[in-house]
Amino acid sequence: MFKIVDRYIGWNVNMMVIYCTLGLLSLNGLIKYVDALRHVGQDGFGYLEILWYILYTVPGQLIIFFPLGVLLGVVIALGNLASSSELIVIQAIGKSKLSIVFSACFSLIPLILFNLFVAEFVMPNTEKMAEDFYTEKRANGQVAVTSSGVWFKENNSFILIDKVLINGTLEQVTRYTFSEGFDQKLQSIERAKEGRWVDDTWVMTDIDIDTFTNHEIEFSHQDESKWNLLLTPEKVSIVGVDATDLSIRGLVDYISYMNKNKQNTDRYLLVLYRKVIHPFMLFAVILLAASTVFGPLRSSSMGARVVFGIVVGFIFYAINEILAPFTIMYGFPPIIGALLPTLIVFIVGVLLLRRKV
């Protein structure tokens, strides 16, 4: 059962984590807004439009800055308790270092669950809204994803979608179909002017077909044809969204789709594992922050603790962003790339916490 001391530690840690995270979000938003002011008057962007775009990106920025906010918040909160000798009193009444760290971890569970809720249910939608809002302004309300084209692989076919409109309509869709076997040959090229999702299938209209035989090319035309593809509007809608902006459910669905088409899924598996491991990574960050307060930084000034927290946070971010893709490059399983940074932080935190300084 949580005691008064635990609630006191939890209150200090929670409030400081909230303050630090909001401070980081506000600073980042201000920098982005000032930087985006150079686009005022271009492509339909005004002061209000820029503000709306930045507000759409806030949930995604929350997911990015929350671990750093946890690190800084725990360092500052426990550092304040150490500076006022409250930690000494708490330890004198029988609370061990480990139990104090446990109190900090337990108290942050609601914030961590809120962070996971935002990552799973809010961020994917707001990031897509931001992308659509930006592209709509740049393309005068016509294009939602890209004007350069998007490729998909379906069994023995390669599909090129030139444009995806905001209402989900496909424009200028080209399907290249190859023969099966080792010596694949191009069998046909189908060029559809437009495609719409009707009754769980794609209905293509105004289709020109080039069929390749051994000695000649046959040309034909169809006013309308149904294309039974594994591709769905939901999968089309995530084309313009980075893998890190997808929810766990969206990643699982997309990985399944890519596996059916025998495509490499390591990049998406890495992102999926990192999202699943994210809560444990936050607990490792809390352990690292607490170990610095009890260890080498227990007598340091507040400024030194903040600087240390920022430096350690960016080092961890760099390790996480560089080491994970590095493991995939050299053929290691994605789960190793996702786990390794968290394990490193956890081990470093345990070693620092056990130091007798």
Amino acid at 241: V
Separation of alpha carbons 276 and 322, rounded Å: 19
Burial (Cβ within 10 Å: 0-12, 13-18, ≥19) of residue 39: middle
Q: Residue 224: beta bridge partners? A: 205
Q: Give the contacts of 136 (CB within 8 A, at least 6 positions apart).
A: 142, 143, 144, 166
Give yes or no for a contact between 146 and 161, defined as CB atoms under 8 angstroms apart: no
Determine the pLDDT at residue 279. Answer: 87
pTM: 0.72
Determine the pLDDT at residue 37. Answer: 86
Give yes or no for a contact between 194 and 208, defined as CB atoms under 8 angstroms apart: no
Determine the pLDDT at residue 320. Answer: 74
* Three-class DSSP category at 188: strand
Separation of alpha carbons 80 and 99, rounded Å: 18
Minimal CA–CA distance to 244: which of 65, 62, 60, 115? 60
Q: Residue 175: beta bridge partners? A: 159, 190
Determine the pLDDT at residue 167. Answer: 65
What's the token pair of residue 175? 């399907």
* Three-class DSSP category at 187: strand
Separation of alpha carbons 78 and 88, rounded Å: 11
10-residue mean pLDDT profile of the chain (357 residues): values are 81 94 94 86 78 91 90 85 82 82 89 92 85 65 50 82 73 87 82 90 93 86 89 68 75 82 81 89 82 63 68 73 78 86 83 66
Separation of alpha carbons 220 and 322, rounded Å: 51
Q: Residue 153: beta bridge partners? A: 158
* Three-class DSSP category at 40: coil
